[in-house]
Amino acid sequence: MKDTLFAAKVGIVNYGAGNLKSVENAFKAIGVQAKLITTPSELETLTHLVLPGQGEFGDCASKLKESGFFPAILEWIAADKPFLGICVGYQLLFEGSDESPDTPGLGVFRGQVKRFSQTNLKVPHMGWNAIKASQPSDPIWQGLEPNPYFYYVHSYYPEAMDETHIACTTQYGDTFHGAVKRGRLFATQFHPEKSQDAGLQLLRNFILTTSSHSA
């Protein structure tokens, strides 16, 4: 396991929208080489790609396009290379968002990013919430407690049209899709890098289950 973690080379897309240092430090905490990347040409040296994101959907999408990463990320995902999306980096995988109706996302998954509909809720949703895994036996959840808690900070969430891609759900007034999984792609609305031991275990699982010998 340690050899697999050490062999991984993780690139974290630095496009001016994300909790970049925390993500980098979380990978380093589990013994994984991780670095911030600013150009698509750097993908050639990587085994795993991470797209974080914080802020407004439209602004993040614009910055990602300006940086030249839009087509590079689509090509990476199309080749089923290991990919992790976090927060807005998860939302950007969908067709669009109610937050920025005129801005298209990457369109990797069919579906729209919605705002919490219940007006009695405090929005943004901020804090720890349990998740319910769609397939608890999936190796991505190994080593975690049943219905583990992860840290969320968001006002919007994706609504995937294909239920087979939903990796977990979370209850906060609405029951929303907390993560998606397809092949070597895994993406979460919650922040693994802010979720202490559970988050580090999930990042460890992501590397181990998507590396070439185990995928």
- Active-site residue numbers? 87, 191, 193
Whether residue 124 has a cis bond before it, omega within 30° of 0: yes
Helix (H, G, I), strand (E, B) or coil at 193: helix
Largest separation between any pair of C-alpha atoms in the chain: 49
> What's the Cα-to-Cα distance from 156 to each of 31, 97, 111, 113, rounded to whole Å?
32, 8, 13, 6
Strand residue runs (E) in the chain: 9-13, 33-37, 48-51, 83-86, 94-97, 100-104, 109-115, 125-133, 149-154, 156-160, 166-172, 174-182, 185-188
Whole-number Å distance between alpha carbons of 61 and 121: 27
Going 180 to 118 to 57 to 20, the CA torsion angle's sign is negative
Token pair recorded at residue 186: 């895994």
Note whether 31 and 73 are within 8 A (CB). Answer: no
